[in-house]
């Protein structure tokens, strides 16, 4: 692809969600020449794509980006729209340079920096930060293809409200926060079944009048690093449910099943051998990360990004906002600032000459 190079900022940030915006705050403060390229027509696009009644599992006290308090009662759990509005206001407040409708199609190593290619243009930058989110492409298990056309199927990202699902028995597949919340909402108007694949560790949203994250913050658990002993233990329990649990689901009349393992016609079969005839299926089965457009050798054979606290072996290329990038808080609104500040410091102290010497001395070659 040959595109006209229209821009030469020192730093390109790819993605205008909370991670890209928090980084923008620090880059602006330190006087870095940068631009944020965002695929959508507005900032905070991922939040706008989530279901209508979504309430955060973190209270407003823990939803602030650096430099601007999340408004309102700190003990309430904000809605999806409040988060989208807050992030949009944040970009405006700090006058962050966001180029909207700007999907990055490729990032390649070029000369001392990177060529960032879009549909209609390209830009050259010495440094690039990938802040495209931890939840990118929808994952739906292959058994979905075995359901007949008459069964309505949608991924949780397409679910908006009960009105988006036809009357009749509905199966929600996926026992994370998303699956439980959607099942609960639907249970007010129809027969709902929930397939839970792996054992969960339900945690109450509030303990003795305080938000769960107050305890995680006060004990320092939220900042335990990915390489620490406790961090490793916590990572294994990544599926933690906050606020929802099987007992509460049963109280709402939801029927719980084990893993959904097969499908045929309008019937879904579960690991325990039971079958269920369904009218609709909502796949709350999560996401995969797609970095296939980054043409730089910073991935392992499974496509996982290799980095240390977001810093890759390719000089001037970073990640931000990944799950467990550094701590449990790395992909959360209230804690992404720690990694954002760290990456901003790396950006500020970057010296292309030293990086060139490092590369020549045998650091992994890119491209």
Ligand X SMILES: Cc1cc2nc3c(=O)[nH]c(=O)nc-3n(C[C@H](O)[C@H](O)[C@H](O)COP(=O)(O)OP(=O)(O)OC[C@H]3O[C@@H](n4cnc5c(N)ncnc54)[C@H](O)[C@@H]3O)c2cc1C
Q: Which of 26, 135, 270, 318 binds ligand X (CB under 6 A)?
A: 135
Phi-psi region of 14 (alpha: psi -120 to 50; beta: other; left: phi over 0): beta
Q: Which is nearer to ligand X, 281 or 332 (CB)?
A: 332
The residues in 92-111 that bind ligand X, with binding defined as CB under 6 A, are 103-104
State the minimum distance, in angstroms, from the CB of residue 262 to ligand X: 27
Check residue 339 for interaction with ligand X (CB under 6 A): no
Check residue 332 for interaction with ligand X (CB under 6 A): yes
Check residue 132 for interaction with ligand X (CB under 6 A): yes
Q: How far apart are CA 257 and CA 344, in angstroms?
A: 46
State the minimum distance, in angstroms, from the CB of residue 253 to ligand X: 23
Q: Which is nearer to ligand X, 103 or 304 (CB)?
A: 103
Q: Which is nearer to ligand X, 268 or 284 (CB)?
A: 284
Stretch that binds ligand X, among 189-197, 265-273, 332-340, 347-355 (CB under 6 A): 332-340
Check residue 15 for interaction with ligand X (CB under 6 A): yes
Q: Which is nearer to ligand X, 171 or 332 (CB)?
A: 332
Q: Which is nearer to ligand X, 197 or 334 (CB)?
A: 334
The residues in 303-322 that bind ligand X, with binding defined as CB under 6 A, are 321
Q: Which of 56, 170, 194, 196 binds ligand X (CB under 6 A)?
A: 56
Helical pair 18-29 and 336-349, crossing angle rounded to 10 deg: 40
State the minimum distance, in angstroms, from the CB of residue 23 to ligand X: 9
Q: Which of 11, 27, 46, 294 binds ligand X (CB under 6 A)?
A: 46
The residues in 20-39 that bind ligand X, with binding defined as CB under 6 A, are 20, 37-39
Question: Binding marks (x or -) toward ligand X, 139..178, rule CB under 6 A?
Answer: ---------------------------------------x
Stretch that binds ligand X, among 91-99, 145-153, 185-193, 329-337 (CB under 6 A): 329-337
Rg (C-alpha) for the chain, rounded Å, is 22
Residues that bind ligand X (CB under 6 A): 14-20, 37-40, 45-47, 50, 56-58, 103-104, 131-135, 178, 321, 331-334
């Amino acid at each position: 692809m040959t595109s006209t190079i229209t821009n030469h900022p020192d730093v390109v940030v790819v993605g205008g969600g909370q991670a890209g915006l928090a980084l923008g705050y620090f880059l602006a403060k330190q006087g870095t020449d940068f631009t944020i390229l965002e695929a959508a027509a507005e900032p905070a696009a991922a939040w706008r794509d989530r279901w209508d009644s979504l309430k955060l599992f973190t209270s407003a006290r823990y939803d602030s980006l650096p430099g601007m308090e999340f408004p309102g009662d700190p003990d309430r759990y904000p809605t999806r729209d409040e988060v989208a509005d807050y992030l949009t206001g944040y970009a405006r407040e700090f006058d962050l340079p966001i180029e909207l409708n700007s999907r990055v199609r490729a990032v390649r190593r070029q000369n001392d920096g990177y060529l960032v290619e879009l549909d209609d243009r390209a830009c050259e930058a010495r440094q690039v930060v990938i802040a495209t989110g931890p939840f990118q492409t929808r994952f739906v298990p292959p058994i979905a293809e075995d359901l007949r056309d008459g069964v309505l199927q949608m991924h949780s990202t397409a679910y908006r409200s009960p009105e988006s699902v036809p009357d009749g028995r509905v199966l929600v597949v996926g026992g994370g926060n998303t699956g439980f919340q959607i099942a609960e909402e639907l249970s007010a108007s129809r027969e709902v079944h929930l397939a839970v694949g792996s054992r969960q560790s339900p945690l109450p949203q509030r303990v003795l009048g305080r938000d769960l994250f107050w305890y995680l913050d006060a004990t320092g658990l939220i900042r335990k690093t990915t390489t620490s002993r406790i961090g490793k233990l916590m990572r294994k329990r990544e599926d933690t449910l906050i606020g929802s649990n099987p007992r509460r689901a049963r109280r709402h009349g939801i029927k719980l099943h084990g893993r959904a393992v097969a499908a045929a016609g309008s019937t879904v079969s579960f690991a325990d051998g039971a079958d269920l005839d369904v009218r609709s299926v909502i796949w709350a089965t999560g996401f995969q990360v797609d970095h296939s457009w980054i043409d730089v050798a910073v991935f392992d054979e499974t496509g996982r990004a290799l980095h240390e606290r977001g810093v890759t072996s390719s000089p001037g290329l970073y990640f931000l906002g990944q799950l467990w990038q550094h701590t449990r808080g790395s992909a959360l609104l209230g804690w992404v600032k720690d990694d954002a500040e760290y990456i901003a410091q790396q950006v500020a102290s970057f010296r292309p000459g030293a990086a060139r010497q490092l590369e020549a001395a045998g650091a992994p070659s890119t491209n």
